[in-house]
Each structure stands twice: as structure tokens, then as C-alpha cells.
Structure 1
Amino acid sequence: MKFGVSYSTPYYGVDPDRIMAFAQLAEECGFESLYLPEHIVLYPGAMVGPYEMPPSLPYVDPLDCLSFVAAATERILLGTGVLLLPYHHPVILAKRLATVDVLSKGRMRLLTVGLGALSGEALAMGVDFASRGRRADEAIDVLRLLWAGGEDGVSFAGEFFSFDNLCSFPKPYEVTRLPIHIGGSSRAAARRAGRRGDGYFPGGALDPGERAVQWELVRSSAAEAGRDPEALEYTRFGSIDMPVERVEELAAQGVTRIVVNTAATEPDRQREELSVFARRFGLLEHFPR
């Protein structure tokens, strides 16, 4: 099992010293990865399900912040949970992701993308909320095309994006494509993960039955698309106080990575919680100081 940790600036704050210290602590404790969420804009009355989001929540740009984290760390992988793909132009995004990956020497490897749940956010970005799923599918294809393309250029003609003979350099660090994991809590997201993703990272308050249905849908969709279901990673959120038995249950369900966050907001308490978790699961045995 791999273990990651999420840093949520809306709750932990945007102080750069704290962000740096948290990332270094996570690396020191042996966590594989650090994830950041994204919202580009909020507005009064924005609702996610039954919950209203305070418009002053400070969501940093995740890729800019991960670049900052990369400069302060050496090993920890960089992830998004999730990047709102329909609101990013894939030609620009391909360059940004490759840049972070090159400058971090190959650590921008846990990009997780989603569609976004706020219609007002889509409106602000000039994106049709109803078609954002198709837009995301095209964006994934464009990203991979640009990363794999050579000096002769690549072309694309789709519903949302089109171009001729484009060259995008630098390439990701020592690879021709970056993994793209699919986030979401719907069966549509599960199908997208199977058909196009390198992994699935469901969120939300799903009951065990629906989670099982969605993971099976990921695998069956991959098989139908001629892809290997066994090659897909399965990431889930966990709690900082979860026992070993719960991790064993998740592993039996096919989960390959668990992402936790700390309940504490103060650095000393965060250090304690992450250290206790790391000792419980022997993380430092794999990444000793």
C-alpha cells in the first residue's frame, strides 16, 4: 500500500513557511505523495451537495504551489486532488505540467483531474457546464498527444480544441506521458477512469456498495476499451487514525494508495499526527532518513 497526504490551504492556511514545513515533514515521515485541491473561483451561495462553501476559502493554484513544494523537498511525489480539467486549456496545461515534472526531476506523477461541481465556476471560465465531461475527455487526449509529439508537430481536430503541427517542449522528465488519474464520485467518472485514466480516485460520501460498483465499472470499462484493468491504480481517502485492519480491508478491495489529512491545523499537532501514522504503518522503513 502507498500512502499520501493532502494539504488543504482552505483549512491549513497559505503561509509559505507552514506549507514548506508540512511538505518536508510529510517527506521526512515517509509519505509517498502530497496532494493539493483546486477551486479557481468561488462566489456567495456556492453549494457542493448540501454544503455551502464560504467564498473566502483560500484555494491556492495547485500547480504553482506544487512547484514551490518541489523546490523544498527531494523525494515526495506531487499530486492534485483534483485539478478541474475543463477549466484549463490543455495546450497551456501540457506545458505547465511538463515544466513542474522537469524541475522536480520526475515527481509530477499523481495528477488527478475532475470535472468540478460548481456551475458558477464553469460560467466564470466560459465553459458550458453540461458539456464539461466531453471537454475533459478531449483535454486528456490533447495532453497526451502533445507530450508524445516530436519536432514535426502534432495536429488535433475535436469538438472543443483544434490545432495543426504543434510542438510542445520540454517533455516530461524521461517519459513521453504523465499519468492522469480520474477523480469523481459518479459512475461517469468511473467509466472515464477505465477508458482514459491511469487510475481512479473517488471521493464523496459513497456507501460501500456503490464504491464496489464503481470500481468494477472502472475495470470493466478498461477491458472493453482494450486496456489492462490490472494496470490501473485505485486511490482512496482515509483517516489519520485508521487502524491497520482498515487498511487491510481496503487492500482487499483493490485499493493501492490511501491519502489522509491531519485533523490538526497547528504545526506541532500535525507533526504528532503524521509521525504516529508513519510509525503505525512502518513508512520510515521504506524511506529512512
Structure 2
Amino acid sequence: MKFGISYNAAHFGTDPEQLVAFARQAEECGFESLYVPEHVVLYPGARVGPFKLPPALPYLDPLDCLAFVAGATRRILLGTAVLLIPYHHPVPLAKRLATVDVLSGGRMRLLTVGVGALPGEARAVGVDFATRGRRADEAIDVLRLLWAGGEEGAGHQGEFYAFDDLCSFPKPLGGAGLPVHVGGSSRAAARRAGLRGDGWFPGGRLDARERAGQWDLARASAAEAGRDPGALEYTRWGALDMTEDDVETLAAQGVTRIVVSPASPDPEERREELAAFAGRFGLTS
């Protein structure tokens, strides 16, 4: 089992020294990866399900944040959970992601994308909320096309994006593009993971039956598309107080990575929480 950790500035704050300390400690404790979420904008009355989001919550730009973290760490992989891909034009996004990957020495490997749940956020960036799923599909295809393209250039004529003979350099390290994981809480997202994704990261508010059904759907969609369902990674949210039995239960369900987040906003208490978790699961060994 792989273990990642999430840093949400809306909860922990935007102090750069605290962010660096958090990332370095996670790396020292043996965590595989660090994830950062995204909201492009918020507004009064914004809700995700039953949860109201205070409009002053300080969400850092995830890729700028991860580039900053990369300069202060050496090993920990970098991830988003989730990057709202319909709200980014895929041509400059391909460049930004490749840049973070190159400058971090090949650590931008856990890009997880989602479609967003706030209609006002979509309107703010000029996106029809109803089209965001199709935009996400096309954007994933464009990213991979640009990463794979050579000096002859790559072209694309789609519903939302069109271009001819574009060359996007530098490439992500290794020459194979970046893995793209899909996050979300819907069956459409699960199908997207199977058809286009390298992994599935379901939302944390799903009940056990729906979550299992979506994982089955992701795997079935991969098989129907001629892809190997066994190659899909399966990431789940966990808790810092989870036990070995909890982890074994998730592993039996096919989970390959668990992402946790400290509960306390206090830096010293967070340090103790991370160290205790790492010690319980032998991450530092």
C-alpha cells in the first residue's frame, strides 16, 4: 500500500514556511506523495453537496504550490486532488504540467482531475457547466496528444479545442507523458477513469455500496475499451487514526493508495500526527 498526504491551505493556511515544513516532514516520514486541491474562485452561497464554502477560504493555485514544494523537497511525488480540468485550457496546461515535472525531477506523477461542482465557478471562467464532462474528456486527450507530439507538430479538431501543427516542449521526463488519474463522485467520472484514466480516486462522501459499484464500472469501462483494468490504480481517502485492519480491508477491495490529511491546524500537533501514523505503518523503515 502507498500512502499520500493532502495539504489544503483553506484549512492549514498559506504561510510558505509552514507549507515547506509540512512537505518536508511528510517526505521524512516516508509518505509517497503530497496532494493539493483546487478551487479557481469561490463566491457567497457556494456549496458542495450539503457543505457551504466560506467565500474567503484561501485555495492556493495547485500547480504553483507544487512547484514551490518541489524546490524544497527531493523525493515526494506531487499530486492534485483534484485539478478542475474543464476550467483550464489544455494547451498552456500541458506546458505547465511538463514544466513542474521537469523541474521536480519527474515527480509530477499524480495529477488527478475532476470536473467541479460549483456552477458559479464554471461561469466565472466562461465554461458552460453542462459541458464540463465533455470538456474534461477532450482536455485529457489534448494533453496526451501534445506530450506525445514531436517536431512535426500535432493537430486537433474537437468540440471545444482546435489547433494545427503545435509543438509543446519540454516534454515530461521519460518521454511517455504524465499519468492522469480521475477523481469524482459520479458514475460518469468512474467511466472516464476507465476509458481515459490511469487511476480512479472516488470522492469521500460516497457510501460503500456506491463506491464499490463505481470501481467496478471503472474497471468494466476499461475492459470494454480494450484497456487493461488491472493497470488502473485505485486511490482512496483515509484517516490518520486508521488501523492496520482498516488498511487490509481497503487493500482487499483493490485499493493501491490511501491519502490522509491531518486534523489539527496546529503545526506541532500535525507533526505528532504524521510521525505517529508513519510509525504505525512503518513508512520510515
Is 2:256 the counterpart of 1:256?
A: yes
CA drift of 1:109 comes to 0.1
Distance 2:52 2:269 in 1: 28
Distance 1:280 1:267 in 2: 20
The alignment partner of 1:72 has SS state of coil
Match of 2:66 in 1: 66
Distance 1:38 1:8 in 2: 9
Match of 1:233 in 2: 233
The alignment partner of 2:71 has SS state of helix
Amino acid at match of 2:74: E
Q: Deviations over 1:217-258 (max 9, x none)?
A: 000000000000000000000000000000000000000000
Match of 1:163 in 2: 163
Once the two structures are superposed, the pairs formed by residues 200-279 of structure 1 within 5 Å of their partners are 200-279=200-279
Range with greater deviation from structure 2 (56-65 or 46-55): 46-55
Match of 1:173 in 2: 173
Amino acid at match of 1:18: Q
Task: Give yes or no for contact 2:204–2:237 (8 Å, CA) kept in 1.
Answer: no
Distance 1:39 1:177 in 2: 25
CA drift of 1:205 comes to 1.3
Q: Deviations over 1:113-148 (max 9, x none)?
A: 000000000000000000110001000000000000
Distance 2:198 2:219 in 1: 11
The alignment partner of 1:132 has SS state of helix
Q: Deviations over 1:23-60 (max 9, x none)?
A: 00000000000000000000000011111100000000
Distance 2:206 2:160 in 1: 32
Match of 1:193 in 2: 193
Task: Give yes or no for contact 2:82–2:183 (8 Å, CA) kept in 1.
Answer: yes
Amino acid at match of 1:11: H
Amino acid at match of 1:129: F
Amino acid at match of 1:201: F
Which aligned segments of 4 or more residues in structure 1 are displaced greater than 2 angstroms?
none
Match of 1:77 in 2: 77
The alignment partner of 1:227 has SS state of coil
Match of 1:119 in 2: 119
CA drift of 1:175 comes to 2.5
Amino acid at match of 2:131: S
CA drift of 1:265 comes to 0.9
Match of 1:38 in 2: 38
Q: TM-score, normalised by structure 1?
A: 0.98
**TM-align CA RMSD:** 0.5
Match of 1:142 in 2: 142
The alignment partner of 1:174 has SS state of coil
Distance 1:268 1:231 in 2: 39
CA drift of 1:10 comes to 0.2
Q: Which runs of 5+ in 2 are unaligned?
A: none
Distance 1:72 1:240 in 2: 24
Distance 2:99 2:127 in 1: 25
The alignment partner of 2:181 has SS state of strand
CA drift of 1:204 comes to 3.2
Distance 1:117 1:219 in 2: 24
Q: Which runs of 5+ in 1 are unaligned?
A: none
Q: TM-score, normalised by structure 2?
A: 0.99
Q: How many matched pairs? A: 285
CA drift of 1:197 comes to 0.2
